[in-house]
Structure 1
Amino acid sequence: MIFIYMILTALVLTAIGLMECDVSETTKAQQCIAALGEPLIFHLPTTAKMITLKKDKNNVLNIVNNKVALDKGNQVLSAFIIDGKLRLDNIMKKHSGDYQWELFNTLGELSEKIQMHLEIQATVTEPVVFQTCLSPEQMEVSCSSEGDEVGFILRLDHLLLMQTRTPIQSQRSWTVDTQSLTTDKQDKAHISNVSISLFGLLTGNLVCRVWNNVSRDEKVIHLKSCKDCVSCCPVLTIALKTSVATLLLLMALCVCLRYLSKTRNP
C-alpha cells in the first residue's frame, strides 16, 4: 500500500476586493480585469453630459445625470453610481469581451469614444496539498487549486522548488494539469494541478502558493520523511498479493480434487 499524507492546514491569505478600472482621463484602449462575482468599479469622466456603454454595438447601459439605465438584455447586472463612480455587481464570465464607452457633451453630440477589453476571472481557491511516499528514497508532492489561469510556487523552507507562470505551461522537472469541473460553457470551474518528485528523506515546511490576476492564496504543510515507509513499494505489494491469491486458488483446487476423488471411490 502506498502511504499518502493529506494535510489540510489552512488559511493564509486571499486577496479579493473591489476591482477598479479608470476610464476618466484617457482616450486610449483600456484593459480591465475583474473577479467573478465580485463588484467592479469604473472611474468615469466628469465632463460628459451622457455616457453610453456598448458591447458588440449593443447598448449595455446609459448614464444621465448620475442615474444608470440598464438595457433590457442586461438586467442580470446591478448598476448604480457612488461618488461619481459606476459600480457593477453580479459580474459573470459572459460579461467578458470588447466594450466601447461613448461620451456626449451638453449639446448631445458624441465627443469621445474609449475602447475597453474586459476579462472576468474566477478567483483561486485554497490549495490542496498531497505528499505521497513512493519508496523510502522517493516521494511526490502535488498541489491543486481551482480558478482561472492559476500560477504556482512551491517552496521547502527557503528553497524554491518550482514556479509556473500564467497561463500555465508544462515544465521539464514537474508536471502541470488543468481540467474543467463542469460542462457549462459559462462560469466553468477549472482545477489546475502541479506535482514534483523529491528525495524521500526531505523534511521541513512546504509552502504552496497560488495566484492569478484577481486573487492569491497559499497553504503550508510539514513535509514528513519517508524513511519509515516500509510498505511503499507498489510493485512488491502487487507481486505479494498475486502470489497469495495464486496460492489460495491452488489450495482450493486441491480440496476440490480430493473431494471428487473420495466421491468416486467410496
Structure 2
Amino acid sequence: MIFICMIIAALVTTAMAKGARECSLSETTGAQKCYGALAEPLIFHLPSGENTKMMLIKNNKHRILKILNNTVASIDKEYINSAFFSGGIFQIDKATKEDSGDYLLETYAATNGVLLHKIKMHLQVQVPVSTPAVSQMCLSPEQMNISCSSEGDEVEFILTLDSYPLIQTRAHSQSQPNRTAVSQSLTGEAAEEDKSSDSNVNISLYGQLTGNLMCQVRNNVSRDKTVLQLTNCKASVSHFSHVAVAVIASAAILLLLLALLLGVKHLYKKTRSVRVNKDNAEDEVVYSDVRVMKQTRKPRANWHQNAT
C-alpha cells in the first residue's frame, strides 16, 4: 500500500512539473476562479480532514466525487479512467472544454452529517496561444504595416520595438465583437489600428524605422513571443520598383517576339487543305493562290475583213 502511494505521489509530481494547472478548493472564504489548459493535466487541491465527508459537485447537479475520511467512496463513471484521487489531490489527466463550469465542494461531519462549509469555484478551460506570426509590409517609403496573429482563447497582444512599447491589447472573449484601437507611432503621429479579431492585431509605423520588433501573446494558461527584424521601407520599395520594371520589360519583349513569329507564320502560309466527306468518301481539296491577268490588247473586231 505504501509502495502504491509512492507511485501515485510520483505521478502527481511529474504532472505538476510538466506544467499542470492547479485549482485550490481548500480556501473557505469567497468564490474561487481557476483556469485550465486544453489537453493538459488539471489538479484540484481539496481540504483534508479526518471524520469528514466531502462531495464535489459540478453545475449544481453532477456529483463527480465523494470522499469519506480521505478515501474515495465513489467517483463518476466519466472520470474513472481519466482521473484519480490521492492525499487531498484530485487530478484530471487531460482537461477538455466540457470540464469548464461551476464547481461546489461540500464538507460534512462524518459522525452526524452536519454541513461544515461550502466552497465554490468557477473553472474555465482555455486553448493555449500559438507561436505568433509576425509580418512587415511596406506601403510606401514613409509607411509600413505590421501584423501579428496567434491562435488561442482570449489572446492578449504586446508589441514592442527595441523594448519601446507600441501597443498592448486587452484579452477578450471570442464572443465579443471586433474592436478598433489606436496606437502611438514612434514619429509621434497616431496610427489607427485595423479592426482586429481575437487573434490578430495590425499597426502602422514610420516606413524608415529599423530594429527588433517583438510580438508577445498570452492568455490565462500560456504565453509565447516572436521577434522580427524590421527593414527600411525606402530601400525595400526602391528594390521592388526595379524588379517590377525589369519584369514589365521582359514581358514586353516576349510579346514582341510572339507577334513576330505569328506574322512570319502567316506570311509563308500559301496553301491550306480541307477534307470533304461525300458518300463516305474522303476527297482532298487543295486551294491555291491564283492570279488573273486582265487582257490589255483590244480584240480585233474586223479580222475577217482583213483576211479577204
Tell me if TM exceeds 0.5: yes
Indicate conservation of the 8 Å contact 2:56/2:63, yes or no.
yes
Q: Which residue of 2 aligns with 1:203?
A: 210
Which amino acid is the alignment partner of residue 260 of structure 1?
A: H
Q: Structure 1: which 5+ residue stretches go unaligned?
A: 1-15, 180-191
Structure with the largest fraction of helix: 2
Indicate conservation of the 8 Å contact 1:77/1:91, yes or no.
no
Indicate conservation of the 8 Å contact 2:48/2:70, yes or no.
no
Q: Which residue of 2 aligns with 1:51?
A: 54
CA RMSD of aligned residues (A): 3.2
Identity %: 43
Distance 1:110 1:260, change over 3 A: farther
Which amino acid is the alignment partner of residue 37 of structure 2?
A: A
Deviations 1:103-152 (A, max 9, x none): 22113626144332210112223323222334433322222223211101
Return the TM-score normalized by structure 2: 0.64
Q: Structure 2: which 5+ residue stretches go unaligned?
A: 1-17, 174-178, 183-191, 271-288, 291-308
Distance 1:217 1:176, change over 3 A: farther
Partner SS state of residue 150, structure 2: strand
Deviates more, 1:254-263 or 1:242-251: 242-251
Q: Which residue of 2 aligns with 1:215?
A: 222
| CA distance in 2: counterparts of 1:75 and 1:46, whole angstroms | 21
Q: Which residue of 2 aligns with 1:165?
A: 170
Q: Which residue of 2 aligns with 1:182?
A: none
Q: Which residue of 1 aligns with 2:261?
A: 255
1:224-235 pair list within 5 angstroms = 224-229=231-236, 230-232=238-240
| CA distance in 1: counterparts of 2:81 and 2:100, whole angstroms | 14
Which amino acid is the alignment partner of residue 136 of structure 1?
A: P
Indicate conservation of the 8 Å contact 1:102/1:110, yes or no.
no
In structure 2, which of residues 17, 23, 26 is the aligned counterpart of residue 24 of structure 1?
Answer: 26
Which amino acid is the alignment partner of residue 33 of structure 2?
A: Q
Q: Which residue of 2 aligns with 1:175?
A: 194
| CA distance in 1: counterparts of 2:264 and 2:222, whole angstroms | 72
In structure 2, which of residues 113, 122, 127 is the aligned counterpart of residue 122 of structure 1?
Answer: 127
In structure 2, which of residues 108, 123, 127 is the aligned counterpart of residue 104 of structure 1?
Answer: 108
| CA distance in 2: counterparts of 1:233 and 1:176, whole angstroms | 30
Partner SS state of residue 263, structure 1: coil
Deviates more, 1:39-48 or 1:112-121: 39-48
Partner SS state of residue 34, structure 1: strand
| CA distance in 2: counterparts of 1:232 and 1:197, whole angstroms | 20
Query: Radius of gyration: which is bigger?
Result: 2
Indicate conservation of the 8 Å contact 2:42/2:94, yes or no.
no
Partner SS state of residue 98, structure 2: helix
Which amino acid is the alignment partner of residue 152 of structure 1?
A: F
| CA distance in 2: counterparts of 1:198 and 1:70, whole angstroms | 57
Q: C-alpha displacement at 1:194, in angstroms?
A: 1.8
Indicate conservation of the 8 Å contact 2:212/2:227, yes or no.
yes
In structure 2, which of residues 84, 90, 94 is the aligned counterpart of residue 90 of structure 1?
Answer: 94
Distance 1:41 1:96, change over 3 A: same
Q: C-alpha displacement at 1:153, in angstroms?
A: 0.7
| CA distance in 1: counterparts of 2:102 and 2:136, whole angstroms | 43
Structure showing greater relative contact order (alpha-carbon pairs closer than 8 Å, 6 or more residues apart): 1
| CA distance in 2: counterparts of 1:75 and 1:27, whole angstroms | 30
| CA distance in 1: counterparts of 2:92 and 2:262, whole angstroms | 78
Partner SS state of residue 28, structure 1: coil
Partner SS state of residue 153, structure 1: strand
Deviations 1:212-254 (A, max 9, x none): 11222223333222232224359x94x9867865774465345
Distance 1:208 1:95, change over 3 A: same
Indicate conservation of the 8 Å contact 1:135/1:233, yes or no.
no
Return the TM-score normalized by structure 1: 0.73
Q: C-alpha displacement at 1:98, in angstroms?
A: 2.0
Equivalent residue pairs, number? 236
Distance 1:130 1:76, change over 3 A: farther
Distance 1:76 1:97, change over 3 A: farther
Indicate conservation of the 8 Å contact 1:51/1:64, yes or no.
yes
